[in-house]
Amino acid sequence: MDRRQQKTRQAVFHAFSSLLEKKNFNNITVQEIIDEANVGRSTFYAHFETKDSLLKAMCTDIFQHVFSDDLKQENSHDFSHAGHDIQKEITHILYHLQDNRKNLKGLLSCDSGDIFMGYFKEYLEQAFPIFIKEIHCDVPADYLLNHVVCSFSETVRWWITKHEQYTPEQIAAFFIQCVLKQG
Amino acid sequence: MDRRQQKTRQAVFHAFSSLLEKKNFNNITVQEIIDEANVGRSTFYAHFETKDSLLKAMCTDIFQHVFSDDLKQENSHDFSHAGHDIQKEITHILYHLQDNRKNLKGLLSCDSGDIFMGYFKEYLEQAFPIFIKEIHCDVPADYLLNHVVCSFSETVRWWITKHEQYTPEQIAAFFIQCVLKQG
DNA sequence: TTGTTATCAAACATTTTGTTTTGTATCTAT
DNA sequence: ATAGATACAAAACAAAATGTTTGATAACAA
């Protein structure tokens, strides 16, 4: 990809993330993003159709890093999964998220956080059915999946936005204890 | 309160809820709300400063019904609470929510759902500490509270938006089994 | 009935959006 | 190194949405 495009794209991402830490997604204008990123108006619209698609592109960028190689491999041979170390895998995902925490903090601020969470849950719904096979619980399967997916994504939000002092290992332990350790 | 004001307020609420079932909060214009509610432009702005404060007013309206009498009484003498029937109280809240499901369905659609959820959690954070006293879990207290609050509000969203066939009793049972029945 | 107030319609300035144009600088591939 | 392609900035632009103001009318409470 053209270096000029990369530069513009990153400048806009960074500017937007920075603005999101200060004010609501809804109240940020394209003009502000342009000014903060120091790019031309037409340049912005050459890259992104709307403010929404900009946000979506940022989310996709992060998910491609987080869910890149590892989880898809796991999914491909999930039959051999029963004895797998779930805690290790959760921790692994959390490390990936921590690598992106700079952009994540902006994304998870205020109301944009909810949009990120929505996309995040979509990814998790594909990745998590494996983890819950072992849980026995007398509730509808899709209630349980929703519960686990929401609990994990909210755990991440709690961690990134307000409690960065904890390590991925600790967060994984909290999550597993509260959600997956069903008597 | 002046009957005309009540009428306008309800017309706008109803119009907005109806629009929210069809399209995103962000993409709804004040003009559309005005047209749907069949009120004048200046009238709308006499009632609500912005689209956001309209949404907030709708949420507050619902919460006043749901958390009106009962929970505050409970809070006032929580020392006598240890032996209380939690399942009964949860069910009670769910019945109140079910009464408002007409407006709730709109509010919980798409991205406005996240805004409702945000306010909902604020209320729940005040009401729920009682419920989690009995849970023993080796995690930070505010992680646990966040977990329970998020799980309950997501349970409500799951129910109202996609699984209305279940009764409040059933939903309460699902929630308690997954969240409060820690071994 | 009388004074008050909520409403509507219409016009309005302002802000934001998204597009188009033109000249310039930077890239890639040969 | 050069040539053609393309990403860029700046500016001007139309269209859409916002939020305010006006004056006349109808519904209200007391």
pLDDT tens digits for range A62-108? 998 888 765 555 544 444 444 568 899 999 999 999 998 888 999 99
Distances (CA, A) of B82 to A32, A42, A136: 53, 63, 28
The pair of structure tokens assigned to A72 is 């898809």
Distances (CA, A) of A85 to A70, A135, A150: 14, 15, 21
The pair of structure tokens assigned to B90 is 């949860």
Taking CB atoms and an 8 Å cutoff, what residues of chain B touch A26? 26, 52
Spatial separation of the C-alpha atoms in residues A132 and A135, rounded to whole Å: 5
Q: What percentage of chain A exceeds 70 in pLDDT?
A: 90
Task: Among A32-41, A65-74, B86-95, name the one with the lowest average pLDDT.
Answer: A65-74
Q: What is the pLDDT of residue A69?
A: 61
Residue A32: CA atoms inside 13 Å, Cβ hemisphere, count?
14
In the predicted model, what is the mean pLDDT of chain B? 89
pLDDT at A24 over 70: yes
Surface of B (41-80) touching A: CB under 8 A: 52
Q: What is the pLDDT of residue A70?
A: 57
Taking CB atoms and an 8 Å cutoff, what residues of chain A touch B151? 147, 150-151
Identify the structural domains of chain A with CATH numbers, from first to last: 3-55 (1.10.10.60), 59-180 (1.10.357.10)
3-state DSSP assignment of residue A22: coil
Burial of A159 (0-12, 13-18, 19+ CB in 10 A): buried
Distances (CA, A) of B138 to A159, B131, B135, B146, B182: 17, 17, 10, 15, 11
Nucleotides of D under 7 A from a protein CB: 6-12, 16-23, 27-29
Task: Among A50-64, A120-134, A146-160, name the one with the lowest average pLDDT.
Answer: A120-134
Residue nearest to nucleotide D29 (CA to C1'): B2
Residue nearest to nucleotide D26 (CA to C1'): B4
More confident site: B100 or A168:
A168
Q: What is the pLDDT of residues B105-143, one digit of tens each?
A: 999 988 889 999 999 999 999 988 877 877 778 999 999
3-state DSSP assignment of residue A18: helix
Asked if residues B110 and B19 have their Cβ atoms less than 8 Å apart, the reply is: no
Asked if residues A100 and A65 have their Cβ atoms less than 8 Å apart, the reply is: yes
Residue B55: CA atoms inside 13 Å, Cβ hemisphere, count?
25
Q: What is the pLDDT of residue B103?
A: 83
Asked if residues A181 and B183 have their Cβ atoms less than 8 Å apart, the reply is: yes
For A125, residues 6+ apart whose C-beta sits below 8 A from its C-beta are: A145, A149
Compute the nearest-CA separation of B2 from chain A (Å).
Answer: 33
Q: What is the pLDDT of residues A136-164, one digit of tens each?
A: 789 999 999 999 999 999 999 999 999 99
In the predicted model, what is the mean pLDDT of chain A? 89
| Arithmetic mean of pLDDT, A122-136 | 85
Q: What is the pLDDT of residue B148?
A: 97
Q: What is the pLDDT of residues B24-67, one digit of tens each?
A: 999 999 999 999 999 999 999 999 999 999 999 999 999 988 88
Q: What is the pLDDT of residue A82?
A: 47
Q: What percentage of chain B exceeds 90 in pLDDT?
A: 73
Q: What is the pLDDT of residue A130?
A: 79
Spatial separation of the C-alpha atoms in residues A154 and A152, rounded to whole Å: 5
Taking the Cβ of residue B141 and every Cβ of chain A, the question of whether any pair is shorter than 8 Å is answered with no
